[in-house]
Amino acid sequence: MRVVLLVCALLVSVAVPASAGERLPKWELTPTGVTAQFRGLSAVSARVAWVSGTQGTVLRTTDGGATWKSVGPPDTGTLEFRDIEAFDAERAVVLSIGPGTDSRVYRTDDGGAHWRQTFQNTEAAAFYDCLAFFDPWRGLAMSDPVDGRFRVQATFDGGRSWRQVPDSGFPPALPGEAGFAASGQCVTTAGPFDAWLATGGGAKARVLHSGDGGRHWTAAATPLPSSASAGVFAVAFRSPGQGIAIGGDYANPTAPGPAVALSHDRGRTWATPGEYPAGYRSGVAWRGGTVLAVGPGGSDLSRDGGRHWMAFDSGSFDTVDCTGSGSCWASGVQGRVARLGR
């Protein structure tokens, strides 16, 4: 989606307070030395993470955030890298957003020492928001609708080349419907074939699901609000069967919600839990059975798959990502990058 404003407001979670003596995690900020806004984040391990953002900035750490190295593609200072997917400390794919030719994909195989541009949008109506991978070879990049249907590019060689998924596999987009390039999480995958797209802006906030690697899609409405500034901003699945959608209204960040919906049937149906963070949240990630949610107004966690929530940090973050081993990172405005501590 064309515009995602920066909103800094203190949000209050509708959640059960932590019990006496209960230890909550905390974000431990790491010094990046820059002021870029990082909406792109890829956690590789406790020691390795990549972030991407404004002014063509891409940073990488290999020592747990003690130091960060600027490794972005050259001559890209006018681009906004809203999403990045890293496979290890050396290999990563980064997406820039924007109308027309500003939407691009670059890949590095040597830790950012060299990059190759592997995709550049040529359609004036297209605007790429985010990307995700099933494995180191197969991935999808999502654009806002073109001619009434969402536009998706697919790769089968790790982002070295891309080809358009046929429009015939998509249901019609709603008037005004699009994705939000707020956290690099408007498309996600789980398992070898399941993928989901998050939308807003239309009459309903929806999640589109593909069970065949991105060739064919169905749409399901969620209970989240939808408007030009509201909808599902991020979607994440712990397994192909269990997922969470999160968002709200970035132009009215303290609106009471609901900001969360849960699915237990591959995204066919969505329901609001009894508790949820109050207001806008832009990023979400699974850490085992625990869910972490972040936004400009703070961070929340749910230890029971999204049914009950506790606020644990009031700092501003745009996105969050966790590894399979439980290492979690968050990033956002003014060069803020943090690792989750205990």
Q: Residue by residue, what is the 3-state secondary structure of 190-257?
A: ECCCEEEEECECCCCCEEEEECCCCCCCEEEECCCCCECCEEEEEEEEEECCEEEEEEEECCCCCCCC
What is the distance between the alpha carbons of residues 270 and 273, in angstroms, rounded to a whole number?
10
What is the distance between the alpha carbons of residues 6 and 187, in angstroms, rounded to a whole number?
21
CB count within 10 Å of CB 69 equals 12
What is the reported pLDDT for 7? 36
Sheet with 49-53: list strands edge to edge. 38-43, 49-53, 58-61, 69-70
pTM as predicted: 0.94
Specify whether the CB–CB gap between 291 and 242 falls below 8 A: no
What is the distance between the alpha carbons of residues 8 and 230, in angstroms, rounded to a whole number?
16
Specify whether the CB–CB gap between 83 and 40 falls below 8 A: yes
pLDDT digits (tens, 9 = 90+) for 15-64: 544 544 568 999 999 999 999 999 999 999 999 999 999 999 999 999 99
pLDDT digits (tens, 9 = 90+) for 207-247: 999 999 999 999 999 999 999 999 999 999 999 999 999 99
